[in-house]
Structure 1
C-alpha cells in the first residue's frame, strides 16, 4: 500500500511539473485565419520566466509598438510574465509584472522561454 502512494505522488508531481511547460509555449504570433478578425486584448497567463533573445528590446507601456517606451532590455535579460496580450494587428506581447526593475509589455518575437530559471 505504501508503494502505491509513493507512485501516485510521483505521478502527480510529474503531471504538475509538466503542465506549465505545455501551457506556456505559445505560437510566435496570434493565430490568424483569413477572413477572421483578431480579438485584441490581454489574458492572465501562467507566470513563467522568459528572456530577451535579441541584442536589445524595448519595454512598452502598452502592447503596441506605437506606445511609449519605458525601458530597453539587453540580450539574455530575464523577466517574469503574467499576461499574454494580442494587439489588433495580431501580434503577441507579454506583460512583465516583476523582477526586472520595470513592468511593461515586450514583443514575443524578441523573447524565448528561459529553461534555466534566474541563472
Structure 2
C-alpha cells in the first residue's frame, strides 16, 4: 500500500491540531484577554512555590489591584513564597505571598520569576 505525501501531511496536521488545541485552551495565560477577564477574575489556591523579585523595586499591595494600598516594597532578589494565583478584572496576574518575608500581600507577576531557592 502506497501513501502519497499529501495524505501523510494531512494526517500529521490533523493529529497535531487535535493534540495542540485542548492544551492551548486548558493552560491559563499570564494575563486574561479582554473578553475573558471578567470570567477569570478572582484568586485560586496555588501549589506553594518560591518566586523572586526581578525589578529594582516592587510594590506589595493589600489586594490584587495596582490601585490598592502599597503595604511594602521589595527589592531586587527578594525571595517569597506564593500560595495563591489571582487575576484582577483587568486581566493582570498577581501572586499572593503568604510567608517568609514578614509581609502577606499581593505582587504583580511582571515583577517576579520562579526561583529554585
Q: How does 1:19-98 map to 2 (within 5 A)?
A: 27=29, 29-32=30-33, 35-38=35-38, 39-98=40-99
Q: Structure 1 76/42 Cα, relative in aligned 2: closer, same or farther at 3 Å?
A: same
Q: Structure 1 62/37 Cα, relative in aligned 2: closer, same or farther at 3 Å?
A: closer
Q: Deviations over 1:28-62 (max 9, x none)?
A: x3231x64443210000000000000001000000
Q: How many residues align?
A: 90
The TM-score with structure 1 as length reference comes to 0.70
**C-alpha separation between the residues in 1 aligned to 2:59 and 2:37?**
27
Q: Structure 1 35/69 Cα, relative in aligned 2: closer, same or farther at 3 Å?
A: closer
Q: Structure 1 30/56 Cα, relative in aligned 2: closer, same or farther at 3 Å?
A: same
**C-alpha separation between the residues in 2 aligned to 1:37 and 1:71?**
27
Unpaired runs of at least 5, structure 2? 1-27
CA RMSD of aligned residues (A): 1.8
> Which ranges of 4 or more aligned residues in structure 1 deviate by more than 4 Å?
none
**C-alpha separation between the residues in 2 aligned to 1:77 and 1:88?**
27
Unpaired runs of at least 5, structure 1? 1-25
The TM-score with structure 2 as length reference comes to 0.71
Deviation at 1:104, TM superposition (A): 0.1
